[in-house]
Amino acid sequence: MSADITLPAGAPEEVVTNALVRDIDLAAFGGKGSMALITLDNGHDHNRPNTFGPQSVKALDAAITDAIARKPAAIAITGKPFIFAAGADLSALSFLSERSQSLAIGKLGHDVFRRLGESSIPTFAFINGLALGGGLEVGLHCHYRTVASTAFTALPEVFLGLVPGWGGATILPKLIGPERAVQVIILNALNNNTMMKAKDALKLGVVDAMFEPADFLERSIGFAVNVLNGTNKIERADYSNDPAWESALATGKAAALKKYGGAQIAAPTKALELIAAARTNTLGEGFDAEDQVLADLTMSDPLRASLYAFNLIQKKRKKVEGAPKPALARKVTKVGVVGAGLMASQLALLMVRNLKCPVVMTDIDQARADKGVAWVHNELAKLVEKKKMSPESAGRLSLLVSGSADQSVFAGCDFVIEAIFEELSLKQELFKKLETIISPECVLATNTSSLSVERMTEGLKNPERVIGFHFFNPVAVMPLLEVARTSTTDDATTATAIAVGKELKKTMIICKDAPGFVVNRLLTRFMGEVTDAVDEGTSPAIADAAMMEIGFPMSPFQLLDLVGPGVALHVSETLHKNLGARYRISPTMQRMVKEGVRNFYIKGEDGSVGANPAALALIEKGSTPSTAEQVRARALKALAEEARMMLDEGVVTTAAEIDLCMLMGAGWPMHLGGILPYLDREGISQSVTGKRFHEKGVASLPA
């Protein structure tokens, strides 16, 4: 056993997961003797999953000792209702200041978990619910595993900047082979932390049997009895000579490079090294290697950054900074969507799927309204085809969506959102007309990306019920929602908007009604520096790749292609008008819009992607080119300058909210943490603004 481990100073107190042992008489299941069943339970409801901190691991160690002393025919481990275990308690990691502390925690987990694998008594994991990271690794150490059909499992460590360091990186390749191990450890983790459904875990060989939750424990004990009496023989393959090792590792490496824009990031690189070593390493050698890698990663800034970002996202999903009391929110039983184009149709689909109330769409004629409704119906049908929705549910939701050319259908709505053309006068005119139709309590929301919400309220009788409700495209995928209050927006309107946003499962920030809100203001400033560099004579290839080495998944011009030059130009013109000359209008962008060139990159006949000759022909021919380093430096300095202005202006109240917006709305890389801690670590904050955005130790090693 490892030496005693105490939490570092300042770390939150561990919520201990107890390990309770009871005897199960196997005679009732047709077996002989007894089973010592260990149940993991932290004493909280399922909203607080079981986790493993040092004391929890020691509690499991004591339970294993107790179980062995009972001389059972088998030992099994399961979890409290709905939860097996959600992995290591990561809350203390950012407080570690010595590598030896990290090494001790890794060794403690291995020393205890491996007792299950090295036991002469057969061991079983009955995975009755969520099993992530160290939770799944406990199960992997056992000789056999069952899973409830409703359970989800995953090894998400690489997503967080870690590796599966309590046995997963060594055991899994030996258990299911290199290709499937790379799928679980690398590909799933990098694909926004995709979890395995129970049937997927069974198909991959991660578990040996799957049972329905109603009688899961009884069926699992029956499975164990059949293994013990030889009725059920579980065969294990030897993958050491599998010819797929090299190709599997190459697939994992390619996926990591693509995810991080060609940058070589430590976590996936080290995980792949551990997977490769598992081919020839003994379990003990593999566990020792995991300890060393885990200790190195834990004492690195990228992990601190990832944990900061992860914890920030988790916290802000639950609580919106500055939100009024939820009790002030009005009930929303009918929603109106003004517009039936693609954005409006996406909003209608999101609303009907989550609010499950009538949604009415309007456009300038019935044909366009019908087209929007048809799009929603078609998307619901696709969900049925993909088995993500039952035909009955899709049918019910389809009946709730209707379209009209007559805006009087908004009478009776509690919440109306507009997604019409980005022209202030049109939106002002619209809101004045809607006021004659809807009740004074109905919320009027705008999905504008850059226009003044306050100016939309001019001349209204009830300006207090107008609010910015800015989604990001694609609506169903992008998690961020910017809620913009004007100087007159009241608490009831804001509370209602926040309640709707929560129903839509969005992560929200409340911001001041300021040009571009948060994400578009920062992104446009950042993009402007890159396009300026190109206009000045920098090679587009050099300028576009300038940020890739730090791990951006998408280059500036790829992002431009995603939002479209027309939208990008409109936003930059709006910000130029409202915020001044630092938001310059790119002549290249103007030409692209004028000539109808919509993409900087195009796909060739052979499938390869390259610069669009039509776009290249429109680039301003400057004579003062920059290097990639110069482009990157000016872009990052601009971000620091703009972020400081936004905080000084009160666009948001905290630096963490800017970090959240860039993580959730702009794809700022998780391994860099928030944008502002990154600028702090690189010394850019201080050089540009004279001070840091965060205290020392935020998203980096303690000072």
Mean pLDDT, residues 638-650: 98
> Structure tokens of 38?
């260990």
Pick the more confident residue, 213 or 698.
213
Handedness of CA 345, 349, 350, 351 (dihedral sign): positive
pLDDT digits (tens, 9 = 90+) for 348-404: 999 999 999 999 999 999 999 999 999 999 999 999 999 899 999 999 999 999 999
- 18-299 and 519-627 have identical folds: no
Mean pLDDT, residues 581-607: 93
- The model carries a pTM of 0.89
End-to-end CA distance of the chain: 31
Catalytic residues, by residue number, are 137, 157
In this predicted structure, what is the pLDDT of residue 606? 84
Task: Give the contacts of 314 (CB within 8 A, at least 6 positions apart).
Answer: none
pLDDT digits (tens, 9 = 90+) for 508-564: 999 999 999 999 999 999 999 999 999 999 999 999 999 887 877 788 899 889 888
Collapsing DSSP to helix, strand or coil, 109 comes out as helix
Confidence band of 8 (pLDDT split at 50, 70, 90): low
- Alpha-carbon 451 to chain mean position: 28
> Structure tokens of 70?
């009972």
| Residue-wise DSSP of 540-551 | HHHHHTTTGGGT
pLDDT digits (tens, 9 = 90+) for 646-665: 999 999 999 999 999 999 99
Nearest residue to 161 via CA among 303, 335, 283, 24? 303
pLDDT digits (tens, 9 = 90+) for 87-104: 998 888 878 888 998 899
What is the C-alpha separation between 368 and 162, in angstroms, rounded? 50
What is the C-alpha separation between 581 and 164, in angstroms, rounded? 49
Q: In terms of residues, how long is the chain?
A: 703
Confidence band of 4 (pLDDT split at 50, 70, 90): low
326-512, superfamily in CATH? Answer: NAD(P)-binding Rossmann-like Domain (3.40.50.720)
In this predicted structure, what is the pLDDT of residue 356? 97
- Architecture category of domain 18-299 in CATH: Alpha-Beta Complex (3.90)
Query: 301-318 vs 266-277: helix axis angle to the nearest 10?
Result: 110
pLDDT digits (tens, 9 = 90+) for 413-433: 999 999 999 999 999 999 999
In this predicted structure, what is the pLDDT of residue 10? 66
Write the Ramachandran bin of 325: left for phi over 0, alpha for psi from -120 to 50, otherwise beta: beta
- In 454-590, beta strands by DSSP E: 466-471, 480-485, 507-512
pLDDT digits (tens, 9 = 90+) for 128-181: 999 999 999 999 999 999 999 999 999 999 999 999 999 999 999 999 999 999
Confidence band of 2 (pLDDT split at 50, 70, 90): very low
What is the C-alpha separation between 267 and 275, in angstroms, rounded? 12
Scanning 70-122, the segments in alpha helix (DSSP H) are 99-117
What is the C-alpha separation between 605 and 214, in angstroms, rounded? 54
| Residue-wise DSSP of 588-601 | HHHHHHHHT---SE
All structural domains of the chain with their residue ranges: 18-299, 326-512, 519-627
In this predicted structure, what is the pLDDT of residue 1? 43
Cβ of 197: how many Cβ atoms within 10 Å?
A: 16
| Residue-wise DSSP of 163-180 | --TTTHHHHHHHHH-HHH
Q: CB–CB of 164/254 below 8 Å?
A: no
In this predicted structure, what is the pLDDT of residue 328? 98
What is the C-alpha separation between 6 and 2, in angstroms, rounded? 12
Pick the more confident residue, 553 or 498.
498
Q: Does residue 683 register a pLDDT over 90?
A: yes
Round the average pLDDT of the chain to a whole number and report it.
94
Q: How far is CA 580 from CA 372, 568, 617, in A?
A: 38, 17, 29
| CATH code of the region 519-627 | 1.10.1040.10
pLDDT digits (tens, 9 = 90+) for 224-265: 999 999 999 999 999 999 999 999 999 999 999 989 888 889
Q: Does residue 124 register a pLDDT over 80?
A: yes
Q: Does residue 607 register a pLDDT over 90?
A: no
Cβ of 289: how many Cβ atoms within 10 Å?
A: 20
